[in-house]
A and B are shown apart, each in its own frame.
Chain A
Amino acid sequence: MAIRGIDFTTLSLKDALDLAILVEEEAQERYEEFAAQMDQHRTPDAAKFFRYMVENEAKHGRELSSRRVQLFGDAPRSVSRTMIYDIEAPDYDAARAFMSPRRAMEAALASEVKAHGFFEAALPAIKDAEVHALFAELRDEEVLHQNLVKGELAKLPPDSAVSDEDFVDEPAPQ
Chain B
Amino acid sequence: MSTTGTLEYTPKDYKSDLKPIWCPGCGDFSVVQGIYRALAAIGRPPHEIAFVSGIGCSSRIPGYTTAYGFNSVHGRALPIAQGIKLANPDLLVLAAGGDGDGFSIGGGHIAHLIRRNMDITYIVMDNQIYGLTKGQLSPTSQKGRVTCTSRFGSLENPVNPLLYVLAYGAGFVAQASPTDLAGMAAVIEEAIRYPGFAFVNIQSPCVTYGEEGQQIKGLKAISESLAGLGHNPADRLAAMDLAQHYGEKMHLGVFYRNPEPPPTYGDLVKERQALLSKDALPKERILDLFIKK
Contact = CB atoms under 8 A, between A and B. Distances in A.
A168 B135 CA distance: 12
Contacts of B182: 2, 4, 81-83, 85
Contacts, number: 79
Given A168-B208, A169-B134, A173-B148, A97 B23 contact: yes
Given A37-B24, A41-B24, A93 B216 contact: yes
Contacts of A85: 180-182
Interface in B8-47: 19-27, 29-30
A34 B19 CA distance: 12
A39 to B, nearest CB: 8
B179 interface: yes
Most buried by B among A2, A43, A170: A2
B159 interface: no
Nearest to A82: B182
Interface in B218-247: none
B interface majority secondary structure:
loop
Interface string B132-165: 0111100000000001110000000000000000
Nearest to B214: A93
B19 A93 contact: no
Nearest to B218: A93
Interface in A29-50: 33-34, 36-41, 43
A94 interface: yes
Contacts of A97: 23-25, 208
Interface in A142-164: none
Nearest to B180: A2
Contact of B27 (A39, A40, A92): A92
A118 to B, nearest CB: 15
B134 A33 contact: no
Given A97-B208, A169-B134, A2 B179 contact: yes
B100 interface: no
Which bracket fits the contact residues of B?
Answer: 20 to 34
B180 A172 contact: no
Contact of B216 (A33, A82, A83, A92): A92
Contact of A171 (B19, B22, B148, B183): B148
A51 interface: no
A83 B149 CA distance: 43
B207 interface: yes
Most buried by B among A33, A91, A170: A91
B205 interface: yes
Contact of B134 (A40, A94, A171): A171
Interface string B173-205: 000001111110110000000000000000001
A13 to B, nearest CB: 24
B292 to A, nearest CB: 53
A92 B136 CA distance: 23
A96 interface: yes
A95 interface: yes
A93 B148 contact: no
Interface of A: 2, 4, 33-34, 36-41, 43, 81-83, 85-86, 91-97, 99, 168-174
Q: Identify the 5 closest CB pairs spanning chains A and B, nearest first.
A: A171-B135, A95-B24, A37-B24, A171-B148, A95-B25
